[in-house]
């Protein structure tokens, strides 16, 4: 495979200027410009470095709207996409053509690398900081689903009552492929009739996704099939053994004696979140300890806790705690 190279992070004795997957910095101005808009339309065109992206939004929902955005490029993307501001929403990406080389990062960790078949989809939660790289010409359809619509759709349309959608990196879904293809004429010539048609197609897509990939939520999960106390201790110890390196979740699953998919589900059941999200929370908590109990610089704390750089540390910390690391430190120290 050409045009795509992923390097593993190696341990270092001191923090370099940049480390981890190279990503464009996110400035406060850029974040303010995109917050509240939702991950669709012009915002996703900018994320993928495109001039424009045709978009349809639903009109029938009350609390928030679903959206469909077509992203097309005759040339490979110029490196990894810029970070998408976190929000409580899902992004379903349908490949309308084969992509010879691609990668997907979740929480800074590569979860998919290689070719993507026509008709394959990915499902990511935007709070998990997905980053895409298409090292080939691409044509895809992204369905934006705010989590707040789950309850409304279940109550008003009889769709499955779910609390989330299970993460998917690369799975062929012919139902989504057919429904997505039906939207392409409306995206090419948007108008009132197209928007009304999208209301029906969006409901059909959501109903299928909820039935095929819907989750009952962490608190509603049955206790059977979780981790034993020993497995949970082993998993947490291995995940946090060296925060300056990105742990290998497949290796942790082997140490726990479980297949990868079963381990991820069991870990979520035991802790209330998947491994990468639990580790991100642990890193924030460790950073709080260092902010309060040490005089280390923010850059050093970012490195010691395994964040890509100080900007990434600030973004994740602020999302989790509500204020920047520097402001949090000043508040606690009086």
Question: What tens digit of pLDDT does each residue of 179-203 get?
Answer: 999 999 999 987 777 777 898 899 8
Gap between the Cα atoms of 122 and 133, Å rounded: 13
Q: Tens digit of pLDDT for each residue in 40-54?
A: 999 999 999 999 999
Q: Return the pLDDT at 106.
A: 83
Provide the residue count of the chain.
Answer: 334
3-state secondary structure of 248: coil
d(Cα 334, Cα 332) in Å, to the nearest integer? 6
Give the percent of the chain with pLDDT over 70. 85
How does pLDDT run across 279-334, given as a tens digit for each residue?
999 999 999 999 999 999 999 999 999 999 999 999 999 999 999 999 999 998 87
Distance CA 159, CA 155 (A): 8
State yes or no: pLDDT of 36 exceeds 70: no
**φ, ψ (nearest 5 deg) of residue 170:** -170, 95
Extract the tokens encoding 116.
């993507």
Q: Are 173 and 128 in contact (CB under 8 A)?
A: no
How much is the mean pLDDT over the chain? Answer: 82
Least confident of 51-55, 136-140, 212-216: 212-216
The mean pLDDT value for 194-220 works out to: 79
Dihedral pair phi/psi, residue 225, rounded to 5°: 90, 5
User: Cα(85)–Cα(47) distance, rounded to whole angstroms?
Assistant: 10
Mean pLDDT of 54-71: 92
The answer to whether the CB of 207 falls within 8 A of the CB of 247 is no
Cα torsion angle, 195, 201, 205, 211, sign = positive
3-class SS of residue 66:
coil
d(CA 54, CA 56): 7
- For the entire predicted model, the pTM comes to 0.62
Whether 162 contacts 206, CB under 8 Å: no
Tell me the three state secondary structure of residue 15: coil
**Rounded distance between C-alpha atoms, residue 72 and residue 215, angstroms:** 31
């Amino acid at each position: 495979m050409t045009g795509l190279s992923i390097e593993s992070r190696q341990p270092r004795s001191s923090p370099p200027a940049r480390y981890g997957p190279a990503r464009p910095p996110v400035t406060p101005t850029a974040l303010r410009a995109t917050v509240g808009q939702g991950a669709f339309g012009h915002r996703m065109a900018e994320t993928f470095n495109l001039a424009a992206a045709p978009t349809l939004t639903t009109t029938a929902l009350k609390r928030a709207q679903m959206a469909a955005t077509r992203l097309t490029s005759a040339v490979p993307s110029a490196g990894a996409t810029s970070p998408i501001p976190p929000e409580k929403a899902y992004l379903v990406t349908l490949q309308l053509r084969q992509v010879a080389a691609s990668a997907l990062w979740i929480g800074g960790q590569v979860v998919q690398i290689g070719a993507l078949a026509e008709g394959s989809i990915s499902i990511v939660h935007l709070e998990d900081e997905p980053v895409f790289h298409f090292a080939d010409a691409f044509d895809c359809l992204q369905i934006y689903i705010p989590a707040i619509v789950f309850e409304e759709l279940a109550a008003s349309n009889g769709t499955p009552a779910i609390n989330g959608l299970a993460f998917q990196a690369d799975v062929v879904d012919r139902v989504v492929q057919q429904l997505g293809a039906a939207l392409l004429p409306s995206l090419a010539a948007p108008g009132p009739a197209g928007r009304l048609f999208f209301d029906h197609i969006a409901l059909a897509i959501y109903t299928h996704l909820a039935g095929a990939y819907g989750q009952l939520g962490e608190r509603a999960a049955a206790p059977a099939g979780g981790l034993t106390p020993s497995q949970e201790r082993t998993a947490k110890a291995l995940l946090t053994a060296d925060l300056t390196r990105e742990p290998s979740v497949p290796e942790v699953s082997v140490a726990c004696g479980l297949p990868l998919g079963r381990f991820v589900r069991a870990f979520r059941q035991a802790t209330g979140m998947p491994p990468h999200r639990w580790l991100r929370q642990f890193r924030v908590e460790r950073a709080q300890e260092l902010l309060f109990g040490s005089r280390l610089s923010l850059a050093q704390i970012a490195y010691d806790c395994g964040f890509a750089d100080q900007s990434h540390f600030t973004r994740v910390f602020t999302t989790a705690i509500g204020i920047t690391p520097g402001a949090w430190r000043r508040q606690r120290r009086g």
